[in-house]
Amino acid sequence: MSDVARFAPEPAVLPPYPVRRALAFPSSALKVIINAIWHRLELPDRLKFVLGLLLVINWRSFPLLWHFQMFGLAYKYRMEKFPVKSIFFPWIKDSSAPLTLPGVEPQLKLNALPLGKNIFEDVTTLQFRAWPDDCDWNMHLSNSSYNKSLDYVRMAHIYRTFCRSCSDGSLIALGGAAYTYHREIPIGAKYDIELRVVTWDEKWFYLLARFVSPAKRPGLADSKSIQNLKQLALDATSNPRVPVDKESGSGASSSRSSFTPKERTVYCTAISRYVFKAKRRTIPPWFTVATSGYGTFASTRENWTKSEVLRRDTIAAAKRRKGGKALPKDNFFLGSGPRSAGIASRFHEAEARGEEWTKARSWELAEFEKERTEGLSQIQGVTGQYDLQ
């Protein structure tokens, strides 16, 4: 090997070469142990084949795999919003407080925030398949698998939409879920889970999830030109004396509904309720919404600028209390630095002092009130029946 090759820098890959070298020995040792055990088993070859096949079929249920997938989603959405200096999880530590205010570094990534969106129309959709390890002896998705699949979507939605609240010092807790089953999901079938916020009250956020068949991909028969040709043929062969509906402009004998794609099958609907906590005390949902960036009205969008200024001033006050010293570093989820000095962590202290920003009247929330009230009336009695479909 030449001196140039020996001292050339290692290429930047993920995971980096030091991590790969550290993992190489344990993986090799594990492979040797598995081979030794496998060859020492005094079992018929056919039985070994069946056991190996079961392991392959159920690989998605291996220990810790669920945890890696769940927390991997939180890691993904955090990385999309917050600049970090390390790729290691969950030992990411940072003493900075990213903001969107001009002149403040580091800057939040605006394209990953829900700025200017309608919270009730912001839907998270993930696709799944009913694998054998998710199904029961009836050859359809088992009841427990609905919970497992929904966990992923809830994690993705919460950290995608309210990741800012987590950096403010909030922790999220699931308070319960109620499921209504409409159709079975057969083994091997694909299905989508669509999740959105439908309402909130003084304590809880209520999220509606719909387990539905995947959306049909538009084909040639669904194209606009083909539909127009079909409609032209119908018009040419229909009775010209048929009166025209003045409102719709279509003939009364027209069968336009036959060209409408069939609705997606709804397998299950579920209502989940979440609460945001800081220092074991509830953060009002209205405050989480007001400081999240949601809102389509110009007046509502002012909430974001106000909350960012509040974040900057709260962190600055925490530094002054420490004599101007930098705050300790936070790790990925918890910490005693910017997160403990965030506006959610300081909310109840400020509320006890009567500070105006802890009162709902100081924020623009009128845009959400109508839909919030309607959604709340639909889910009265969380353990009862739901009108949401």
The H-assigned helical ranges of 322-365 are 347-352
Looking at residue 169, its pLDDT comes to: 87
Q: Which CATH architecture has domain 60-216+264-378?
A: Roll (3.10)
Place of tokens 């299905």: 191
The per-residue pLDDT for range 197-235, each reduced to its tens digit, is: 999 999 999 999 999 999 876 555 555 555 555 555 555
Mean predicted lDDT score pLDDT of the chain: 78
Determine the Cα–Cα distance for residues 303 and 357; give it in Å rounded to an integer: 11
β-pair type (205-212, 190-200) = antiparallel
Determine the Cα–Cα distance for residues 164 and 2; give it in Å rounded to an integer: 51
Report residue 169: phi and psi, to 5°. Answer: 115, 5
- Tell which wins on pLDDT, 337 or 117: 117
The residues that bridge with 179 in the sheet, in sequence order, are 270
Determine the Cα–Cα distance for residues 304 and 295; give it in Å rounded to an integer: 9
- Tell which wins on pLDDT, 324 or 359: 359
Looking at residue 270, its pLDDT comes to: 94
Looking at residue 333, its pLDDT comes to: 57
Q: What is the pTM of this model?
A: 0.73
The H-assigned helical ranges of 58-178 are 65-81, 143-161, 163-167
